[in-house]
Chain A
């Protein structure tokens, strides 16, 4: 595998493709569509990053409102795959009903399953998450669970039929990066063949790169781009970081060492004489 100098962003030869539920994606950046200064800036950010999968949601529609239709048209113009979420659901039942409504509205059986336990941390309710995942997977959904690094919960999710796991990096919207790097590393080791996506908490391209260098398959982010001073340039920056770090991972990163090793050859160093007794 070679990484060409011209391969700077988005979909290009050089990287192994990402396969989620049998669908091949060139981009390893999943992008949220919320909180941008304008719909056009959102669309430009998606295009700049060459994203192929964006998250969307469902919300109450006003009578005589056309907000949903306008947003649907905007999303359809992007010509990307959509991943509806169940954001804001606090119970398995609400999440299941929301997923069913999303399937009809977006004509997709992909669902980013969120069951939220706590409004301050927005951490996943792992019990409700597993319960909802079991029901939805049986009903034919392709479930993308927003979860933690907990390996027991992850095992239950995989057993329920989840072919992708999406552990958080840090609480949603905090931009703290990878709060529990060791646990994420363990998760990668424990599930070598399951696509793992770090979802939430990514604040900077270096955070996304760190996740990719750990061997995570993709990153899902929103706020760090949407709330940037220049979201379009930030989207491109993230895409470049994600691509570079994935390429590095696939190229075989060196293992850290405790002690220094000279990179310049020692043999032939001037003024240094070989010990004749050795």
Chain B
């Protein structure tokens, strides 16, 4: 089956950030997302969410430019002060035109 090359951007962060992160990625051109609640531990070890809620994992399928823009915004405004992890996968997506 024919697939389109796209980027899968995964962001894991404090639950309090969920709304804000979703607004950011929409603004940058993401057409949709999947959000799951996750648990884990990282190098920072300090999380506001230790009291209220767990972490959230946001996944979104986007073009390379949008993926870059998302990572750029995250590194400018989030990495320094919040517990946030982000990474990008190359993926092949069916019906790729839906996502760009």
Q: Do A and B share a complex? A: no
A residues engaging B (CB < 8 A)?
A: none
